[in-house]
Amino acid sequence: MRVTVSCPEALISDANHLAQVLAFGPADAMTYRGLSWRDAAGNLYAAASFEARDEWVIGAQSALARPAWDTEQAISMAAASRAQAALVFAQEATLALPDKLTAIAGPDGPAALAMMGLSPVEVE
């Protein structure tokens, strides 16, 4: 299942802790980077889109557990929990908000971001 997530600027750090819990390793601390999307009010967001395993969908909505690989406790489980509490999981159009981690399941990334009311930040 394709899942696309928009992450507001204020939640990037917390969301990257959650991404490490739900994915595979420390490199996933860079899942949300580049504030390349904006909403109608001008708030900035990073975005990620990926094929999510069933485990990801279940894990994102269950009690979080520190991954076995994180033996040095690099992940802040408190930060990951804050991000999880801000997660809105939808299968229909849902506007992104600057205090929510918005995830839409189903459509491809650009379509999902449009359903969140986001447009790209013009560069160059």
Q: Using the rule CB under 8 A, is 24 a contact of another protein?
A: yes
Q: Which stretch binds another protein (CB under 8 A): 20-28, 57-65, 68-76, 83-91?
A: 20-28
Closest separation between CB of residue 1 and another protein, Å? 12
Q: Which span (17-25, 61-69, 88-96, 97-105) binds another protein, by CB under 8 A?
A: 17-25
User: For residue 117, what is the DSSP state?
Assistant: T
- What DSSP state is assigned to residue 84? H
- Least distance between another protein and beta carbon 30 (Å): 5
Check: CB of residue 5 under 8 Å from CB of residue 19: no
CB 118 within 8 A of CB 96: yes
Among 9, 33, 58, 61, binds another protein (CB under 8 A): 33
DSSP string, 3-69: EEEEEEGGGHHHHHHHHHHHSSSGGGGGSS----EE-TT--EEEEEEEE--HHHHHHHTS-----TT
Q: Is 74 in the site for another protein (CB under 8 A)?
A: no
Q: Which string of x and - marks every residue 86-105 that binds another protein (by CB under 8 A)?
A: --------------------
Site stretch for another protein (CB under 8 A), options 68-76, 83-91, 97-105, 115-123: 115-123
What is the CB neighbour count within 10 angstroms for residue 84?
22
